Structure 1
Amino acid sequence: MALSKLLAASLLASLLLLHLADAADQSQHAKTQSSLLQKIDCNGSCVARCRLSSRPRLCQRACGTCCRRCNCVPPGTAGNQEKCPCYASLTTHGGKRKCP
Structure 2
Amino acid sequence: MARLSWVPFAFLLFLVVFTFTIQTANAGKEGSLRPQDCPNACGVRCSKTHHKKPCLFYCNYCCKRCLCVPSGYYGHTGECPCYDNIKTKEGKNKCP
- Aligned-pair CA distance for 1:59: 0.2
Question: Larger relative contact order (C-alpha < 8 A, sep ≥ 6)?
Answer: 2
1:19 aligned partner = none
The number of aligned residues is 65
Superposition TM-score, scaled by structure 2 size: 0.63
* Equivalent AA in structure 1 for residue 95 of structure 2: C
* Equivalent AA in structure 2 for residue 39 of structure 1: R
2:24 aligned partner = none
State the superposition RMSD in angstroms: 1.6
Superposition TM-score, scaled by structure 1 size: 0.61
**Poorly superposed stretches of 4+, deviation over 3 Å:** none
Distance 1:63 1:74 in 2: 10
Distance 2:94 2:79 in 1: 16
- Aligned-pair CA distance for 1:38: 5.8
Q: Which has more radius of gyration?
A: 1
Q: Where does the alignment leave 5 or more consecutive residues of structure 2 unmatched?
A: 1-30
2:94 aligned partner = 98
- CA distances 1:20-52 after superposition (whole Å, capped 9, x unpaired): xxxxxxxxxxxxxxxx77615000000000001
Among 84, 87, 92, the alignment partner of 2:83 is 87
1:58 aligned partner = 54
Distance 1:78 1:38 in 2: 19
**Identical-residue share of aligned pairs (%):** 40
1:39 aligned partner = 34
Distance 1:76 1:57 in 2: 18
